[in-house]
Each structure stands twice: as structure tokens, then as C-alpha cells.
Structure 1
Amino acid sequence: MKKVLSIAGIWLVGLLLLVGLFLSIWIVVPAPIFALLPLSVGAPEISPALLLFNMSIAICVGTLFWLRAFKPQRSFVFILCSLGLAVGLSAWPLLQFSATQQQAQAAIETSLGQNYLKDLPPALIAKMRSQPLVICDIWQGISNLQQETLGIRKVSIPFANPDGVELSMNIYRPAQVGKYPALVSIYGGAWQRGSPDNDETFSRYIAAQGYVVWAIDYRHAPAYHFPVQIQDVRSALRFIQQHATEYETNLDRVAIIGRSAGSQLAMLAAYQDPPFPIRAVIDYYGPVNLTAGYANVPTPDPIESRVTLRAFLGGTPQTVPELYRQASPINAVKPDLPPSLLIYGGKDRIVEAKYGKYLAQQLRSPGNRAVFIEIPWADHAFDAVFSGMSSQLALYYTERFLAWALYK
């Protein structure tokens, strides 16, 4: 009986080891196909939990060895090597976190100044996250998020009906009636999917910080090609301009944020004569140069970039070159643009970080302020895991950049 239990224990530990190793591998391996993207995105974000899991398995293996459940042999050597690999992979983001955070801090201070938070309202600073990473929040969620967002006033309203397609927006307001700075939010989804309900946890969090969040909609490809999407974004901005007072928005203090495809639209909207001044732009992993993106597809290419771009623009750079030029935020760079915060994942194989870095350099060239932050272990859409490592780091600097831009 004892032998049977020992064998069962060995098999169970072996199975758990394989699970831990399989998940840990996706911390460094980018997804080759779209179906595997959730693994590639999620594994780095929960890597501290994976590290704890793998360490627990190591303790079990050590205990079994101590109990002489098995003897040192080739299989045991294989188990030790696999354990070492799993532990090392799951520890990698944590080992890099301090250096990455220091680089991010240096980037924001270089652009905004070392005292960029000086003179901000103390109550606003008190609401911000005190640290760029709180390990326990990975398990329990962002600290006090449910309590902080209690009472957030949400309303969904239509703002346009182009070509018979009703476009709506979600508006999130702080619990107390007042007049607030605002953040316009544009969802991603390869220009083909998504809704204003995307990123609702983020919208509620930002509203609890003292902002009105306008999460807007646009028509999707391939049924509608560019420039329809940016036209819809501009329609939404005009609606905000007309109804700002009604929804407690200070129109002189508005920023815009986008994710992926939404970032491309957000940058175009902010950089190309918006209907009212946009005070700041926040770009999460947005496409920058669509012509270059078509010519130099990443490896691997989980979303089939060329297929996605043809669906969005209705052709190739050879057949519709002007549309590719107009749709590329890099071509909208000029002096006197609003400050930009650009956050990209180093493991991203949908929009590679090098494009965000190049955009930051181009923005700075004529004197604009641009903060570029690269998170080495992060994949595309890292903030889908809202309490994950990358999202916590991005949120820490996003709320500070936003406060600097809209409350000073």
C-alpha cells in the first residue's frame, strides 16, 4: 500500500511539474497563433503565482526524495532540470522588474521633470497606487478596487448613426456630482471587434480617481474601411464637445487613451486638429507605421498582420498607399503636439516595441514631450489581466502622467 501511494504521489507531482513548466514556457515564448495568445499574454502577468506554484512542486519533490519515494536516477535528474527551468522562467519577470521600473521612472522624469507631481492636489495623490507592484494584488485584484469604484455613475448613450449603424459610448463619472477632467478611451481589437464595454475595470478605476471617462465606439472593418473609423472618433469628440457640461466634463482638461488599434485612432485624433484641445495622449501598444508594419511582419505573426491591414485599409501599400500614409500616426508628427505616454511590451509580436520607441524619438525631435516605457516580459494586450505585473506598472505611470497632464 505504501508503495502504491508513493507511486501515485510521484505521478501527481510529475503531472503538476509538467503543468507548471508548460505555463512557465509562455512567459518567454510568444504565441505562434491567435488561439494561443491568451497563454502568451497571461503567463507573464501571473508569473509570481507560477513561481509559487513551481516552488511548491520543488518542495514536494524534495519531500518525496527525503522519504525515499524514488532514488536518484536519470528520471530524477530530468525532474530536477525541469524544475529548475520552470522556476527560472517564472522568476524572470520579477528579476527584471526593478530595472524596468527604474528605467520607466527615469523616462518619465526626463520628459516631465523630477518634480512633475509637485503641486498636485494631495487628495489626488492619496488615491494613486503607492507602489508600481503589489504582489498580493495579483491574487486578490487591485487593492480596494471594488470599494473605490462603488458609486461610479455609468450611463450608455448613442452619439451617432452613420450609415444606419448606431454608435454609442459609455460615460463613467465619479460618485460625487462635480466638474472633472476627462479621459476619452478607445478600445482595440484589430479594428474589427470590440465595444465601449471593453476595459470597464480600468474605466471605473480612473473614474474613481476623479475623472470622467468617455469610452467611445466606431464602425468596424472589414465592412468599413479607413478613414471611416477616425471619422467616427471625431464624431464622438464633437459630441463630447457639445455635451461636456451636461456630463460634468471640464473641456479644457481632456486626455485620450487607446489600446492597440484604438491607440492608432487616438493618436490620429489628438495629433490632427481635434475639435477641442487634447491635453495628453496615452498609447498602449498602438500601431505607428502601417506601411512598415505591412512590409516587415513580426515572427511569429499571430494575427496575420497583412490580412488584418488589408481588411482595415481595403488594400495593400501598393494599391492604396495614401490610405496607409494617412492611417500612420508617425506621419502626423509635427511641433506643438500634446505630451504622449507610450507603453509597449517587449515580447509583443503584434505591434513590436521598436515602433513605439521610434515614434517617441520622432515626437521629441520637434520638441514634443514623449515618455516611452518598454516592459520586457509583456505581450500585446498585457493589461487584459488588470491586476497583472505589467498592468500594475503601466497603471502606476498612467495615473501619474494623467494627473500631471490634467490637474496641474
Structure 2
Amino acid sequence: MKVRMLSIASNWLVGSLLSIGLFVSMWICLPAPIFSLLPLSVGAPEISPVLVIFNAGVLLLCWLLFWLRDYRQPRLVIFSLCVSGLAVVLSAAPLLQFSAAQQQAQSAIESSLGRDYLRDLPPALIAKMRSQPLVMGDIWSQIPIPEVRLDRDLLFANPDGVKLTMNIYRPLQVGKYPAIVSIYGGAWQRGSPDSDDTFNRYIAAQGYVVWAIDYRHAPTYQFPTQLEDVRSALTFIKKHADENETDLDRVALIGRSAGAQLAMLAAYQDPPFPIRAVVDYYGPVNLTAGYEQVPTPDPIESRATLRAFLGGTPQDLPTLYRQASPLTAVKPALPPSLLIYGGKDHIVASKYGKYLAAQLRSQGNQAVFIEIPWADHAFDAVFSGLSNQLALYYTERFLAWALLAQ
């Protein structure tokens, strides 16, 4: 009886582990059909090395248990080994693609900026950057985030009684630094200057002043309100640059998703002062196409999101949709752009970023397009994950080239 109970318990344990490993691993390949499943679709590829070890351990456990105790049930053995083997293969997919993706990213940045684009950077600065595009240990121990000086909730505008604030991140040592203006995403409807706190701390520690800014949200406030708020923040930064140790001649904008759309428009359309570079993480670039070519699946209900942001459809407001599309702002003499998109993204497809890069280059601008094949929208929410390590490696080099090497 005890042997039978032990057999049932071990079968239940193995079955549970098999189910968990396969369920989580399958989201590496499957896009999220609804918003509530998006964290799984985003997170699973980023922790894939952990999943590989977990699934390999389950595979070994299946083999040992059934070989030593239940080899009389060959069908159960074969089924369990097949399921755990499939989970191992799924979880290993991003790692198997990593080398090719990194080589393509390296080729993209060198073809646009030159093979020796880091030549003019001081060795001490290069030493502060990540030494490799992937450090396995950081997936478990997390990327180290040095201490910085931080001022939170500084009021920069009060339109319609809505308090717009910003956070300012600075290196520990007092000095004068290049600056990065960070604009959060959230479908233009949610978020705050605290949203990208880990990145802002990390990049400030490398020798930048990071201004993380706010803007009013849809649907209560619709475009171009958000862009006006970004410009108000830039005007505030221009006025208060000296007292906040900011070199106004060396400023870049970075945004994610909706924030990237605002960053590109602000950088491309007559900013209050010259912008040296812009970094776009998976930002929408053609809002008309985004409305007319709805992704499948569509976890954020793209058409409803765009109607909330713009107040209608492209048929109702064709001019406004064009004005809100960074693609229509492309012209000669724009600041260099780094565009990073996920190949698995079903919110903003990577093809749009690729097309924007081509249009920028056709007008004589420098543009680096990097696609991370396994990554979903908002991949950098897992800061130490596989995709963000690759993105961070090239983002910090691009920013150093744009703000420190020229």
C-alpha cells in the first residue's frame, strides 16, 4: 500500500512539473491572445535559460523515476520523455538564436556608424559598459545597478490643473554630463516617470543625467496633448540645465512603445534645442497602418487604443493620424536613430521599425535597426533578461557614440 501511494505521489509530482515546464515554455513561441496573458508571452523568452535548466531537470527526473520504478509502463515513459523533451527544445529556442541575432545587431550598428565607431571613447568609459551582449550569471544574480543621486516628483508644468512631474537621475560625482530624456510607454493611457526606474538608474551611473518625464494620458487628453507635454518638459530642461549638471549640447531622447512615438516626434519636429540622438524601443511609427492592419492576435485592442489616443478613426481624422506618425516626420538632417524591435511583437510589428529605418536612410540619416527574433513587446520589462541584455549592450554603445565620442 505504501509503495502504491508513493507511486501515485511521484506520478503526480512528475506530471505537475511536466505541465508547468511545458505551459510556461510554450509562450516563448506563442503570442499572447489577450492582455492578461501578455506577461507570460513577454517573460518566458527572457528567462529561457532558467527554463532550459528546469525542463532538463524534469526530463532527467522522468527518466530516472520511470526507469528505476515503472519501466513496466513504456507508453507512460515515452509520453513523459516526449513532453519534457519538447519543453527543453522550446525553452532553448532563444539561446539557439542568440548568436545569429547578436551578429546581425553588430553588423547593423557597424554598417551605420562605422566599424570603429567607439574609437574616440576613453577606455575608462568603455570599461564601464557591459563587456558582452549576454552574461548568463546576470539572469540569476541580476544586472548590478550602482547608486545614483535621485530627485523625484519635480513639477515642470501644471496644464489644466494636472501636475506633470519628472525624476532626475544623476551620477554620484558632481559634474556636468550629457543627458538622456526618458519617456515611458503604456498605450498613452498609463505610466509615470517611475516606470523605467531600473534602466534610468543604470544608465545614469554610466555618466548621464537622466530626465524621466511625464505627460497627460488618453482618453481624457488626446493627441497632440502628449507631444505638447513632452515639449514643455524639454523647455523646462533647457531652462534648468545648468543647475542640474546637464550639457544641453549633448542630449538624447529614449522612449518605449507609446513613449518612443513621442520621443521620435519630439526629436524629428523642431525641438526646443538640438537633439543629438533618439532611441526607439518598439515604438509605433505609422498609426494609420496600425489601425488598418490589426495584428492577430491583438492583445491590447489596437483600434480602441488608437481611437482613445486620437479621438477617432483614420477615416475621421486622416491628418491627425499622419501628424502622429513618426514616419511622416522623416526628412534630411535628423538626429541618428537606434530602433530596437521584437520579432515576436504582435502589438507593434518589427516590420514598421525596419521600414522607418529604411526611410530615414533614404533621406541621408543614420539609422540602426535591430530585431530580436524571440522578443515580444515590452521585453525590457525583464531588465536582466535575454533580450534586454542584448538591447542594453547596443543602446549604451550607441548613446556613448552619439553623446560622448563626437
Give the structure-2-normalised TM-score. Answer: 0.98
Q: Which runs of 5+ in 1 are unaligned?
A: none
SS of equivalent to 1:246: helix
2:134 — aligned with what? Answer: 133
SS of equivalent to 2:179: strand
2:369 — aligned with what? Answer: 372
Q: Percent identity?
A: 75
Alpha-carbon displacement from aligned partner over 1:368-395 (angstroms, at most 9, x marks no partner): 0000000010000000000000010000
User: Which letter maps to 1:250?
Assistant: D
User: How far 1:103 sits from its partner (Å)?
Assistant: 0.2
Q: Does structure 1 residue 407 correspond to structure 2 residue 404?
A: yes
SS of equivalent to 2:244: coil
Could you say if the C-alpha distance between residues 151 and 275 of structure 1 is closer, same or farther in structure 2, counting changes exceeding 3 Å? closer
8 Å CA contact 2:148–2:169 kept in 1: the answer is: no
User: How many residues were matched structurally?
Assistant: 404
For the residues of structure 2 that align with 1:276 and 1:356, how far apart are their CA atoms?
25
Counterpart among 216, 220, 226 of residue 229 in structure 1 = 226
Q: Which runs of 5+ in 2 are unaligned?
A: none
SS of equivalent to 2:167: strand
For the residues of structure 1 that align with 2:386 and 2:233, how far apart are their CA atoms?
33
User: How far 1:171 sits from its partner (Å)?
Assistant: 0.4
For the residues of structure 1 that align with 2:208 and 2:148, how far apart are their CA atoms?
14
SS of equivalent to 2:16: helix
2:151 — aligned with what? Answer: 154
User: Which letter maps to 2:112?
Assistant: S
Could you say if the C-alpha distance between residues 96 and 317 of structure 1 is closer, same or farther in structure 2, counting changes exceeding 3 Å? same
2:100 — aligned with what? Answer: 99
User: Which letter maps to 2:111?
Assistant: T
1:316 — aligned with what? Answer: 313
For the residues of structure 2 that align with 1:172 and 1:128, how far apart are their CA atoms?
18
SS of equivalent to 2:260: helix
SS of equivalent to 1:18: helix
SS of equivalent to 2:153: strand
User: How far 1:256 sits from its partner (Å)?
Assistant: 0.3
SS of equivalent to 1:169: strand
346-355 or 133-142, larger mean C-alpha shift: 133-142
8 Å CA contact 2:180–2:253 kept in 1: the answer is: yes
1:191 — aligned with what? Answer: 188
User: Which letter maps to 1:354?
Assistant: K
Counterpart among 247, 250, 267 of residue 270 in structure 1 = 267
User: How far 1:72 sits from its partner (Å)?
Assistant: 4.2
User: Which letter maps to 1:164?
Assistant: G
SS of equivalent to 2:247: strand
1:289 — aligned with what? Answer: 286
8 Å CA contact 1:152–1:208 kept in 2: the answer is: no
2:254 — aligned with what? Answer: 257
8 Å CA contact 2:256–2:283 kept in 1: the answer is: yes
SS of equivalent to 2:212: strand
User: How far 1:128 sits from its partner (Å)?
Assistant: 0.2
SS of equivalent to 1:189: coil
1:212 — aligned with what? Answer: 209
User: How far 1:11 sits from its partner (Å)?
Assistant: 1.5
1:174 — aligned with what? Answer: 171
For the residues of structure 2 that align with 1:260 and 1:238, how far apart are their CA atoms?
23
SS of equivalent to 2:340: strand
User: How far 1:62 sits from its partner (Å)?
Assistant: 1.4
For the residues of structure 2 that align with 1:220 and 1:166, how far apart are their CA atoms?
12
Alpha-carbon displacement from aligned partner over 1:286-343 (angstroms, at most 9, x marks no partner): 0000000000000000000000000000000011111100000000000000000000
For the residues of structure 2 that align with 1:52 and 1:152, how far apart are their CA atoms?
38
For the residues of structure 2 that align with 1:227 and 1:198, how far apart are their CA atoms?
22
